[in-house]
Chain A
Amino acid sequence: MTARDEILAHLRTELSRTDDLFRRAKIRHETPTVPSAVTEATGDRLALARQFGAKLEAIHGGFEIAQGPESVPTRVTQLVKRWNSDGDRVLSWAASELHVPDLTPRLEQAGISFYVPDDMHEEECRRSAAHLSVGITGVEAAFAGTGSIALLPGKGRSRAAALLTLYHIAVIPFSCIYPSIEAWMEVARKAGNLDDRVRRGSQLAFVTGPSKSADIELNLTLGVHGPKMVHAVIFDDG
């Protein structure tokens, strides 16, 4: 008998032996219940954007709300110039994934060059990405209740851009902001594509503020392995 068959058979035998599986249980749950949202924001798109930003700030991130997509390149340029002490090169998602069509050309006009890795398993690619200080990404979704963003990897969307750098700039349109993670999942499930979205990217990641640790006597330290700053540039995409 294989390990698989043995384990499953053992479980089935033991589970069929008793109806009183749990000491406290009054009922045996026959169907999975639908959990409710734990932390949820409310309001219109602007209100959700503000609540998202406030939540992110409370956990040592930063945010700003740009007037519209046309203001985003200027704001991002300022942030890159402020944080990039060792040159004007950034680790980024591809231009097509950044929600603002003219973001890349406008930044390039300002003297900032983009490194968009195509295969991080290649030594040369790793070397090029490893020393960059600023990463720029879009998002799959953002959540006002917790100040989290969802990142879904794909072609032109490296995980490294939000992971290897010390500073992470996330470009977020209003239309990507949801009251809570649960609300986003509900919309995706109703649309019949939640399962596909989770599987497609091979790793759906929720990121909530900068990398941190409290392992040393519970003292908060930022930027342990990932970015020490996550800054959201939010804009109204109409």
Chain B
Amino acid sequence: MPVDSSAPYRKRVAQALGDDGLRTALDRATGRLRSHRLAAMQDIDVERLREEVRAVREYSVSNLPDLLEQLEQNLTANGCVVHWARDAAEANEIVREIADEHNVQQVAKSKSMTTEEIGLNEALEHADIEVVETDLGEYIIQLAGEPPSHLTAPVIHKRVEDISKLFEQEFGIAPTTNPADLCAVARNQLRSKFLRADMGISGGNFAVAESGTVCIVTNEGNGRMVTSMPRVYVAIVGIEKVVPRLEDAILLWQAAARSATGQDVTVYFSMSSGPRGEGHPDGPEEMHVVLLDNGRSRLLERGYADALLCIRCGACVNECPVYREIGGHAYGRTAYSGPIGAVVTPLLSDDMTSAKELPFASSLCGACLDVCPAKIDLPRLLLDLRHDLVLLKSGTNAERLGMRLFASAAKRRFTFEWLTRLGRWATGLLSGRDGEVRRLPPPLSGWTKYRSFPKLAASGFRKLWAERKPGRESGRG
């Protein structure tokens, strides 16, 4: 059964863990992505690359307002129309109005997590505009009626057999497990859509302030199609994507490619600076850029500027042992999954507690930090978020009561020692011959459902301290 991303958190996780097909697909895909990334990092100075990426991103985020103004000025000088959107509703309305103005019936869209974030497809479809996803993976999940489950590999949760079955139902093809055959079907279906579309829509991986340029990273060529074939092109760009110079975009592109898929660079890097020039045979007649906030400036307010450094490569997602077990849909109705998703999903929300479980969906092993090309300390951010969520009283009453009782006991030496003795006695009773406690009674039984822990040691720290430091009084210091 597929994971229902709108179900409650525990149900989503249970559905994911019970889906063997999903685990097989995740195992196959993340395993390959990780080994490709490792191979791509062998022949370069990885640390230098990461330091440079970090420097570019820190500079960009530190100077966001000035860079955004410069970007706007240069885009306008290039003949683009620049729009600003505070939130998803404003962004969707801007795009709908542009579509209305041009009597747009059909939109060809390049893969964009930003447009997933704001629910653009639903907004346009509500206005009776047909939206076709043109990235192969996005096209497949659009046919399946599912959201993407990975930042860069949206259909990572599906096996080739699942996709064949979907294409059989949609297009009446014979069953096949040959990806090339399935790809050819999609190419044929989508080619006519590209040529008929009245409007092309993309996100923006980077936006260059000095030249007024929106950069799109793709491998399939659909990004170049949607920015070239339709008469109207709209790019929806998060405000944090701006960088000062062209060289910075080239650096981030290479870092993203190596980190995401292990390529030196992606096949296509399209740097759009405006509508087609006089006498040019193709390219859009109008180019619009929507600069989207939608909670990004609030990340600064909430003290999480680090999360704005992300270049959305998805390397942290592939490394995360939690993601590799549960996949993207278990993170809920969000465009962003894995460790970075667990950070930005609550932070981008008006109400941080609406995704309060996500920062806890991590073992804090640190693998995400090790692979992040922008050196974002994701475990630190997750811990800080847990802290902030506790302060927002996001836990259950039982959790809060338990924490208050623990705090009260820990502050009183006699109570603490008495409780420690009680715990030593109780875990001694509950443990097996090997000293492991495998089953706790309710309401603590959840702790031992998937793991055991050792009984409390016979001698506590204070006792050992007193024994080994004879010159000091027991219990002091």
Contact = CB atoms under 8 A, between A and B. Distances in A.
A and B assemble together: yes
Interface stretch (A74-82, A98-106, A152-160): A152-160
A190 interface: no
B430 to A, nearest CB: 40
A195 B208 CA distance: 11
Contacts of B17: none
A205 B271 contact: yes
Contacts of B130: none
Contacts, number: 287
Contacts of A116: 281
Interface in A1-45: 2-4, 6-8, 10-12, 14-15, 21-25, 28-29, 31-36, 38-39
Nearest to A198: B211
A119 interface: yes
A121 B273 contact: no
A217 B352 CA distance: 34
A39 to B, nearest CB: 5
A226 interface: yes
Contacts of B246: 185, 194-195, 198
Contact of B276 (A14, A29, A59, A153): A153
A14 B229 CA distance: 40
B68 A8 contact: yes
Contacts of A7: 68, 84, 86, 239, 291, 293, 297
B282 interface: yes
A218 B361 CA distance: 26
Interface stretch (A46-54, A65-73, A171-179, A206-214): A206-214
Contact of A211 (B72, B220, B285, B293): B220
Interface string A176-197: 0000011001000000001100
Interface in B205-237: 208, 210-213, 219-222, 224-225, 227-229, 231
A226 B56 CA distance: 32
A32 B267 contact: no
Contacts of A209: 267
A24 B153 CA distance: 29
Interface residues of B, number: 108
A92 B438 CA distance: 72
Contacts of B456: none
A213 B136 CA distance: 7
B180 A221 contact: yes
A205 B224 contact: yes
A202 B272 contact: yes
B190 to A, nearest CB: 7
Given A202-B273, A208-B267, A225 B228 contact: no
Contact of B135 (A155, A157, A215): A215
Contacts of A211: 219-221, 267-268
B227 A203 contact: yes
A202 B377 contact: no
Contacts of A15: 62, 64-65, 300
24 contacts: A4-B72, A29-B62, A32-B55, A33-B52, A35-B250, A38-B254, A39-B44, A121-B282, A130-B191, A130-B195, A157-B281, A158-B281, A198-B246, A202-B275, A203-B271, A214-B153, A214-B261, A216-B163, A216-B183, A221-B183, A223-B187, A224-B220, A224-B221, A226-B220
Interface of B: 25, 28-29, 32-33, 44, 48-49, 52, 55-56, 58-59, 61-62, 64-65, 68-69, 72, 78, 84-86, 90, 134-137, 140, 153-155, 158-160, 163, 179-180, 182-183, 186-187, 190-191, 194-195, 208, 210-213, 219-222, 224-225, 227-229, 231, 239, 244-248, 250-251, 254-255, 258, 261, 263-283, 285, 291, 293, 297, 300-301, 305-306, 309, 375, 377, 380-381
